[in-house]
Amino acid sequence: MDISVDPVGLTPPYEQVRSQIEALIRAGELARGTRLPTVRQLSLDLGLAVNTVARAYKELEADRLVETRGRNGTFVLASRSQINDAATHTAAVNLARTAREAGLSLAEATQILNQAW
């Protein structure tokens, strides 16, 4: 797992770690069931405080991307297809809601989607 942190960047270090792990999961580079490094090991590798990495893992867990199984470690919970399916479904629901609020018909909304495709 290749992660780097810019200590002087505008984004807090825990968010840099969280977003990079999320990106690896979304890209399919970290498959479902993959065990992540321990909080302690990743903090040593990145030169960060243990609490910084722990916060990143907690936020990933809150987003249901990873699962911590006590002393057994932290594992990737989501697969790329599950993440994309969920995001696609959310986008479709938002499109439908916005189109209805704008008074568009299904045909008009579909035409907009086809143009965007």
Please give the tally of structural domains in the chain: 2
Say what the pLDDT of residue 58 is.
97
How far apart, in whole angstroms, are the C-alpha atoms of residue 59 and residue 106? 37
Per-run averaged pLDDT (10 residues), the chain, 117 residues: 92 97 90 95 97 97 92 86 72 92 92 87
How far apart, in whole angstroms, are the C-alpha atoms of residue 89 and residue 81? 12
Taken as a whole, the chain contains a residue count of 117
Say what the pLDDT of residue 117 is.
78
Say what the pLDDT of residue 81 is.
60
Say what the pLDDT of residue 37 is.
97
How far apart, in whole angstroms, are the C-alpha atoms of residue 1 and residue 8? 22
pTM of the model: 0.69
Expressed as residue numbers, the domain containing 107 is: 86-116
Residues 21 and 66 both lie in one domain: yes
Q: Which two tokens stand for residue 12?
A: 């807090």
∠ CA 27-28-31, nearest 5°, is 145
**Does some domain include residue 64?**
yes
